[in-house]
């Protein structure tokens, strides 16, 4: 058996021959697998993934299909997601990200998928183990023609339209599943913003509070944003108590769905199947379900709108984006004979009720997602929670004209809506 690591990346010892034999035998439901070659490379760019180590692994093997027939020789590309737990990301362990993601891929998504004829919601999970480190193995979506859109560029109309349609199907089918299996919502209760993850974690406040502080300091220097800056400083002074309840169920909520929980450009992959229009996406698929939870659809939608959509699309076609989502959402529920379909006004109510969730996404994720590659190569939880380490980095990030324009647009909109007076 040959192991190759041409770029000398850091690979833990447990990702060995036995691990991939177990993963393939379970994932392929194979009688017997014999691995002959393993080739490792990183699956994501340096600095693009804070909490996990994501490997792309090419595996050559032979598989016994029938005891009376010779083994079949095959090659397969796998994605291995390793989630080492450190004190700085203990809050992820508190909300059960590994078990939640395992349950979602093995139990929830397959049940949603059979409800409607639509593109796949996610990859296929072959294998999951907690020992010695929480690890999941998936099929490689890149081998199926998918790739991640450049996060720094954000998404144009065509990309937004496609993923909002897919998000609508995910949300609508989750409502049907919740009716049929009420235990599902009970097991998907804690997302990124919940009391369990935030009140116990200093790392969470340090990481996202730094970006909020820098935003407030910059806003104080922008003409006409002085009062907005004061409100942002007030948010920062009360960071934990505000953020801990942003996703809570509230009296008056119109409907509940399974949120992806981290719906940004980095957690969406696109395929481009039309050779005549190579830049127009034809399929969209979600990755990374470790922070999903059942709650208002306004959480996912506001998170996406405030992190991943180009400014010109937000300014000119924000209502069109909501209508695209709602049209597919309604059509999906009609197809599934859902009795009381939420109205467009219900959706707009949920969006307004969770605008603060979008504010968090805007200051917590937008600066990082749009960060130039040369500034993000050393991004890690450990680096991003140390203000001294990121001082110069954020000075350069917030000096970008394009980011400033988007932040000013979002803050002015939030202030006009009264969102900045809700805390």
pLDDT score for 25 = 96
Q: Is residue 127 part of a domain?
A: no
* pLDDT > 70 in the chain, percent: 96
* Shared-domain flag, residues 75 and 196: no
Number of domains in the chain: 2
d(CA 202, CA 49): 20
* Shared-domain flag, residues 69 and 175: no
Tokens of 284: 């969209």
* Shared-domain flag, residues 292 and 158: yes
The helix (H) or strand (E) run that includes residue 204 is helix 202-219
Q: Is residue 124 part of a domain?
A: no
* Shared-domain flag, residues 264 and 397: yes
Q: Is residue 78 part of a domain?
A: yes
Cα 31 from chain centre: 35
Least confident of 63-77, 84-98, 115-129, 278-292: 84-98
Could you tell me where the DSSP H helices lie in 238-288? 239-243
d(CA 394, CA 147): 28
Q: What is the pLDDT of residues 32-85, one digit of tens each?
A: 999 999 999 999 876 666 678 999 999 999 998 887 788 899 999 999 999 887
Q: Is residue 139 part of a domain?
A: no
Average pLDDT over residues 16-27: 97
Least confident of 30-44, 239-253, 354-368, 376-390: 376-390
d(CA 248, CA 296): 9
Domain region containing 62: 2-83
Looking at 83, 99, 131, the residue that finishes a domain is 83
Tokens of 4: 């190759």
Sheet hosting strand 283-286, strand order edge to edge: 146-148, 268-271, 283-286
Buried b (16+ CB within 10 A) or exposed e, 327-341: ebbbbbbebeebeeb
pLDDT score for 337 = 97
If we measure between CA atoms, which residue out of 369, 381, 354, 351 comes closest to residue 407?
369
* Shared-domain flag, residues 358 and 216: yes
* Shared-domain flag, residues 63 and 186: no
If we measure between CA atoms, which residue out of 71, 85, 98, 80 comes closest to residue 41?
80
Q: Is residue 97 part of a domain?
A: no
Average pLDDT over residues 375-382: 74
* Shared-domain flag, residues 78 and 166: no
d(CA 138, CA 228): 44
Average pLDDT over residues 16-39: 96
Predicted confidence band at 19 (pLDDT cuts at 50, 70, 90)?
very high
Cβ atoms 83, 135 nearer than 8 A: yes
* Shared-domain flag, residues 28 and 160: no
* Shared-domain flag, residues 288 and 404: yes
- Residue 324 sits at φ, ψ, to 5 deg, of -60, -50
Q: Is residue 226 part of a domain?
A: yes
pLDDT score for 373 = 85
Checking if the pLDDT of 374 tops 90, the result is: no
d(CA 242, CA 148): 32
Q: What is the pLDDT of residues 267-286, one digit of tens each?
A: 999 999 999 999 999 999 99
Cβ atoms 63, 32 nearer than 8 A: yes
Cα 160 from chain centre: 15
* Shared-domain flag, residues 414 and 303: yes
d(CA 194, CA 71): 50
pLDDT score for 50 = 67
pLDDT score for 197 = 78
d(CA 206, CA 386): 7
pLDDT score for 382 = 67
Average pLDDT over residues 358-383: 87
Looking at 54, 83, 112, the residue that finishes a domain is 83
Checking if the pLDDT of 88 tops 80, the result is: no
Q: How far is CA 367 from CA 89, 265, 308, 310, in A?
A: 20, 13, 11, 13
Q: What is the pLDDT of residues 145-161, one digit of tens each?
A: 999 999 999 999 999 99
Helix, strand, or coil here: 121?
coil
pLDDT score for 46 = 63
309: which DSSP letter?
B
Q: Is residue 199 part of a domain?
A: yes
Cβ atoms 177, 108 nearer than 8 A: yes
Q: Is residue 317 part of a domain?
A: yes
pLDDT score for 198 = 87
Checking if the pLDDT of 409 tops 90, the result is: yes
Looking at 83, 118, 139, the residue that finishes a domain is 83
* Shared-domain flag, residues 321 and 396: yes
* Shared-domain flag, residues 276 and 151: yes
Q: What is the pLDDT of residues 329-350, one digit of tens each?
A: 999 999 999 999 999 999 999 9
43: which DSSP letter?
S
Cβ atoms 253, 167 nearer than 8 A: no
**Mean confidence (pLDDT) of the chain:** 93
The helix (H) or strand (E) run that includes residue 109 is helix 109-113
């Amino acid at each position: 058996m040959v192991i190759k690591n041409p770029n000398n990346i850091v690979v833990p010892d447990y990702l060995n021959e036995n691990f991939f034999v177990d993963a393939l035998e379970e994932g392929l439901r194979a009688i017997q697998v014999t691995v002959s070659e393993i080739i490792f490379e990183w699956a994501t760019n340096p600095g693009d993934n804070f909490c996990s180590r994501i490997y792309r692994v090419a595996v050559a093997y032979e598989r016994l299909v029938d005891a009376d027939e010779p083994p079949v020789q095959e090659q397969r590309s796998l994605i291995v997601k390793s989630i080492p737990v450190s004190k700085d990301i203990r809050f992820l362990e508190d909300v059960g990200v590994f078990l939640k993601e395992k349950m979602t891929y093995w139990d929830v998504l397959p049940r949603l998928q059979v409800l409607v004829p639509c593109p796949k919601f996610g990859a296929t999970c072959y294998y999951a183990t907690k020992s010695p480190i929480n690890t999941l193995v998936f099929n490689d979506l890149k081998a199926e023609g998918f790739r991640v859109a450049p996060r720094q560029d954000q998404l144009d109309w065509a990309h937004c339209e496609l993923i909002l349609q897919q998000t609508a199907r995910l949300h609508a089918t989750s409502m049907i599943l919740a009716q049929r299996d009420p235990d599902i919502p009970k097991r998907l209760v804690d997302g990124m913003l919940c009391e369990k993850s935030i009140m116990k974690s200093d790392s969470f406040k340090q990481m996202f509070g730094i970006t909020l502080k820098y935003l407030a300091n910059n806003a104080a220097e922008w003409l006409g944003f002085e009062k907005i800056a004061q409100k942002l400083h007030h948010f920062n002074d009360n960071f934990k108590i505000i953020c801990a309840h942003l996703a809570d169920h509230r009296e008056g909520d119109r409907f509940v769905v399974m949120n992806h929980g981290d719906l940004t450009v980095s957690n969406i992959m696109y395929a481009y199947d039309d050779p005549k229009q190579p830049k127009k996406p034809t399929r969209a698929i979600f990755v990374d379900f470790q922070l999903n939870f059942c709650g208002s659809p306004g959480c996912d939608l506001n998170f996406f709108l405030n992190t991943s959509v180009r400014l010109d699309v937000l300014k000119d076609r924000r209502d069109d984006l909501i209508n695209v989502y709602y049209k597919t959402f309604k059509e999906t529920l009609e197809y599934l004979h859902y009795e009381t379909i939420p109205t467009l006004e219900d959706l707009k109510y949920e969006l307004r009720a969770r605008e603060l969730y979008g504010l968090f996404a805007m200051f917590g994720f937008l600066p990082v997602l749009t960060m130039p590659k040369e500034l993000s190569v050393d991004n890690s939880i450990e680096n991003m929670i140390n203000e001294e380490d990121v001082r110069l980095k954020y000075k350069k990030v917030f000096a970008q004209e394009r980011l400033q324009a988007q932040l000013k647009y979002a803050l002015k909109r939030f202030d006009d809506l009264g969102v900045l007076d809700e805390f």
